[in-house]
């Protein structure tokens, strides 16, 4: 499958697309026109174990968000978590949505109901696409230009850390989907601390709760939610602060290892979204440290060729933007050219918010598909 490029001049389009960011617990609906959200977000429960109620909520959400728009929508485009046959619109075998096991032709169902083209994609893919078009990637390049740096980035790894661990890859403005709609499935990389399990078990909401519970000696089902564990770690709520800090540090180490493996192949920037991203002050330093670490049994052999910088830290951001730019004289002439030998990448948090990034990615994806 060819990479998917953004539709031309998508930001100033008059066409309206109905979008959905579907998660294991909530369905967030919006209506998008260019860069503008015309309606929403409107959230309905996912009902992940009851197919009839889940499908009814999906239809009701699109019907509600489509009312009162300046003109009818031209398409429906939305994100679902996990692997599926997205070009065919068939959802199946999602761990967080057991009602879809065995295969459900969701795209064709919605096409029949609404009489519109329907495009479905992976949530991690559309998150990365939105951040590459209108979020983290263009912001970094704009700030590099303002700093006088010749460095520019064209590749982006997007991670969503929440109920699960999702990923997406954008290169040269194109969304890379793979031949089986399975590119960027970072949740299936190995857990750095426990090679016998996948990375999602160390980088998700349940991972933070499980580690906190283990360190506190409490049943995992009684552990606080990550937002509460974050407050404990910040000293803003009662609880075991050391356990809270350790829970997020362990998550950061797993996230950093995942990024190191992926960025070795992609060589670009990385942006993180999802429900856990609000706790970046407690996990991002550990993630960047893991990214910059050496292999344990190969001292001096770093995990990643470029040096990673925490873009949310003002000092590291300034150093990243500054680089090591200098002038080189072209041999045999008086001409000078700028040169920045510092190979580097930046790791940051979503600039759009996860749901808006997914919506923008879904919008641009739909317009591109319609133009084909």
Q: Look at residue 204 and tell me if it is in a domain.
A: yes
Residue 199 vs residues 145, 207, 210, 263: alpha-carbon distances, Å: 36, 10, 14, 15
**Per-residue pLDDT tens digits for 276-322:** 999 999 999 999 999 999 888 888 888 899 999 999 999 999 999 99
Q: Are residues 114 and 161 in the same domain?
A: no
> Does residue 96 belong to any structural domain of this protein?
yes
* Same domain membership, residue 269 and residue 142: yes
346 and 254, same structural domain? yes
- The verdict on 237 and 339 lying in the same domain is yes
pLDDT along the chain (372 residues), means of 10: 53 85 85 86 90 94 92 91 81 77 91 95 92 96 94 96 92 89 89 92 96 96 96 96 97 97 96 95 97 86 93 97 92 91 96 90 89 80
Whether residue 365 sits in one domain with residue 322? no
Task: Report the length, in residues, of the chain.
Answer: 372
Query: Radius of gyration of the chain from Cα atoms?
Result: 21
| 129 within domain boundaries | no
When divided into structural domains, the chain yields a total of 2
Residues 93 and 186 both lie in one domain = no
The enclosing domain of 149 has a CATH number of 3.30.420.40
Angle between helices 241-266 and 205-216 in degrees, nearest 10? 140
95 with 205, same domain: the answer is no
Q: What is the number of other CB atoms lying within 10 angstroms of the CB of residue 306?
A: 18
Q: 209 and 229 in contact (C-beta within 8 Å)?
A: yes
- 10 and 110 both lie in a single domain: yes
- Whether residue 197 is found in the same domain as residue 335: yes
* Residue 56 counted as domain residue: yes
Please give the backbone phi and psi of residue 48, each rounded to the nearest 5 degrees, phi first: -65, -15
Q: Is the CB of residue 166 less than 8 Å from the CB of residue 176?
A: no
Cα separation, 67 vs 113, in Å, equals: 15
Instruction: Name the residue range of residue 260's domain.
Output: 136-351
- Within a domain: 130: no
Among 193, 78, 198, 84, CA closest to 127:
78
Instruction: Round to whole Å and give the CA distance between 130 and 125.
Output: 9
HSE (side-chain half, CA atoms, 13 Å) at 344: 24
C-alpha–C-alpha distance, residues 44 and 41, integer Å:
10
What's the pLDDT score for residue 93? 64
- DSSP letter, residue 6: P
- 3-class DSSP assignment, residue 125: helix
Q: Are residues 98 and 230 in the same domain?
A: no
Residue 322 lies in a domain: yes
Residue 127 lies in a domain: no
Q: Are residues 199 and 248 in the same domain?
A: yes
Q: Is the alpha carbon torsion for 271, 207, 81, 29 positive or negative?
A: negative
Residue 273 lies in a domain: yes
Same domain for 270 and 218, yes or no, is: yes
């Amino acid at each position: 499958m060819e990479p998917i490029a953004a539709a031309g001049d998508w930001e100033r389009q008059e066409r309206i697309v109905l979008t959905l960011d579907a998660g294991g617990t909530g369905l967030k609906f919006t209506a998008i026109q260019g860069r503008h959200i015309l309606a929403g977000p409107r959230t309905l429960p996912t009902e992940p174990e009851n197919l009839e109620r889940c499908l009814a909520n999906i239809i009701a959400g699109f019907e509600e968000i489509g009312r009162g728009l300046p003109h009818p929508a031209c398409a429906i485009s939305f994100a679902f978590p996990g692997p599926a046959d997205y070009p065919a619109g068939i959802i199946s075998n999602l761990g967080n949505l057991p009602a879809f096991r065995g295969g459900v032709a969701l795209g064709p169902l919605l096409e029949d109901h609404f009489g519109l083209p329907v495009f479905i994609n992976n949530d991690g893919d559309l998150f990365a696409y939105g951040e590459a078009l209108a979020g983290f990637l263009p912001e970094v390049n704009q700030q590099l230009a303002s700093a006088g740096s010749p460095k520019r980035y064209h590749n982006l790894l997007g991670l969503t850390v929440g109920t699960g661990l999702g990923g997406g890859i954008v290169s040269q403005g194109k969304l890379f989907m793979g031949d089986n709609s399975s590119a960027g499935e970072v949740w299936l990389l190995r857990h750095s601390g426990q090679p016998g399990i996948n990375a999602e078990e160390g980088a998700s909401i349940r991972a933070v709760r499980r580690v906190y519970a283990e360190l506190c000696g409490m049943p995992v089902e009684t552990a606080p939610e990550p937002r509460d564990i974050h407050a404990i770690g910040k000293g803003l709520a009662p609880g075991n602060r050391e356990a809270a800090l350790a829970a997020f540090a362990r998550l950061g180490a797993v996230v950093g290892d995942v990024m190191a493996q992926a960025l070795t192949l992609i060589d670009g920037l990385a942006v993180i979204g999802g429900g856990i991203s609000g706790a970046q002050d407690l996990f991002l330093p550990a993630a960047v440290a893991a990214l910059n670490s050496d292999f344990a049994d190969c001292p001096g052999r770093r995990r990643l060729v470029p040096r990673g910088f925490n873009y949310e830290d003002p000092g590291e951001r300034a150093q990243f933007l500054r680089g090591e730019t200098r002038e080189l004289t072209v041999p045999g002439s008086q001409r000078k050219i700028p040169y920045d030998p510092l190979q580097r990448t930046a790791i940051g948090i979503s600039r759009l918010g996860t749901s808006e990034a997914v919506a923008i990615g879904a919008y641009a994806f739909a317009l591109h598909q319609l133009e084909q």
